[in-house]
Structure 1
């Protein structure tokens, strides 16, 4: 007997990942790993920003980690005046409760999100409702 905890799934980001409204301008946010596809302890969002792109202001009740897959940009600490540059291969950790925004002047692709999943992140998204 195999438990569902031992099941391996391949997630196709081009078709299996619903949009998430976290982009303020010039980009796209998609849910990759979340409670809707069985994740209980971790979440991943794929954030793709193009020239002049940014997320909306974000904050989570738990810690958050992102990995920069490609491109360059910055993460802005909205609770202070700090900005950290992001380049390909960078990982960034955000403490629980901190407010931030991800921005780029060119393009950037980032994978990550809060751990455990943040129910507020998915609130109000019809395709995702009932998954949490």
Structure 2
């Protein structure tokens, strides 16, 4: 600590205690150590587990925690991930006969698309959409 001849302002004292509390409260149950092979710098981070559609943002300062951040718009992460296996979010392109939706298909390939019925495609699997065939009977023809 610093030795000063002036008494501390009350707000500065409270702010200092708050910072000490934050630093002391960052205790980790599990620690992940990562080494940057270019700089040979090792960073120790607190382990986190992230739910689907969140990725692990690695800590940059020793003894701080990795963070779970939402995937950027237009990308997904279908499975949970964690500091030991930090999977990236992925962009999924929909096949041309489908349209993008905000949920994963329940059957077939698991992508955020569904068959575009407004353009005549149908099916439960967005990777196997079929063109609907319309049966039209022409009047007057037998």
After TM superposition, is the score higher than 0.5? no
Between Structure 1 and Structure 2, the one with more helix by share is: 2
User: Greater relative contact order: 1 or 2 (C-alpha under 8 angstroms, separation 6 or more)?
Assistant: 1
TM-score of Structure 1 vs Structure 2, range by shorter chain: under 0.3
TM-score (norm 2): 0.19
Higher strand fraction (1 or 2): 1
- Bigger radius of gyration: 2
Give the TM-score normalised by the residue count of structure 1: 0.20
